[in-house]
Amino acid sequence: MTPFTERVINIIQQIPEGKVMTYGQIARLAGSSRGARQVVRILHSMSKKYNLPWHRVINAKGQVALRDEASYQEQILILESEGVDIGLKDEINLELFQWHPEEQ
């Protein structure tokens, strides 16, 4: 496993309930400002193995990026159950719900 992958997994594992992070934000914190797509691949391939809270990772527009309808709805339902408000057009207010571990 690469150091970048290890850092991505560690960051995702730390996202608290009721908060979200973006793919690009995670990539930047893990050391690759252009690694958002790699974060997607890591989530896709390693979420089950590492019990990652995959549902807390969204795109930079504050939206769920999954295309599969069942997974899309599942992510929204889980986020809502954690207290994340999903607005019109299924958007999440990043000012309220985005987690910034670098500010901790």
SS3 30: coil
pLDDT in tens, 56-84: 999 999 999 888 899 999 999 999 999 99
Token digits of residue 40:
């997607």
- End-to-end, the C-alpha distance of the chain in Å comes to 27
Token digits of residue 57:
């990772």
pLDDT in tens, 19-32: 999 999 999 999 99
Which pTM value belongs to this model? 0.92
The class of domain 3-98 in CATH terms is mainly alpha
Q: Which residue's entry shows tokens 């690469």?
A: 2
Pinpoint the alpha helices (H) of 30-82. 36-46, 69-81
